[in-house]
């Protein structure tokens, strides 16, 4: 497995942790407020959790898909990094 794919896998794992925290907070808030907006956030968190879990699965099971072009590996890692940055901001604001 290439270095960039390992970086992307690590970032997807970080995203899973951040999304787990966010979704737990949103579920707790939904139980308290029963708001449609919060229900939407719970659904968003659940979908993003599944997306990142599937991404990690594909990183490890379909290595040949990403090993063909180092440029693709870098772009995938960059996108995972941007997602992690966005989730870090969202987690900070939500938990605060």
pLDDT of 28 higher than 80: yes
| Residue among 52, 75, 56 at smallest CA distance from 9 | 56
Other CB atoms within a 10 A radius of the CB of residue 93 amount to 8
85: Cα within 13 Å, side-chain hemisphere: 6
Tell me what pLDDT residue 83 has: 98
Q: Enter the pTM of the model.
A: 0.90
Domain ranges of the chain: 3-95
d(CA 38, CA 62): 35
d(CA 61, CA 95): 34
Retrieve residue 2's tokens.
């290439």
Tell me what pLDDT residue 63 has: 66
């Amino acid at each position: 497995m290439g270095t960039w794919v390992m970086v992307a896998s690590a970032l997807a794992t970080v995203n899973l942790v951040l999304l787990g925290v966010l979704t737990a907070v949103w579920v707790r808030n939904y139980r308290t407020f029963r708001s449609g907006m919060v229900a939407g956030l719970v659904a968003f968190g659940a979908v993003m959790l599944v997306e990142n879990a599937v991404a990690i699965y594909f990183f490890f099971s379909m290595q040949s898909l990403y090993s063909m072009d180092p440029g693709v590996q870098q772009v995938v890692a960059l996108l995972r990094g941007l997602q992690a940055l966005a989730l870090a901001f969202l987690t900070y604001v939500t938990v605060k």
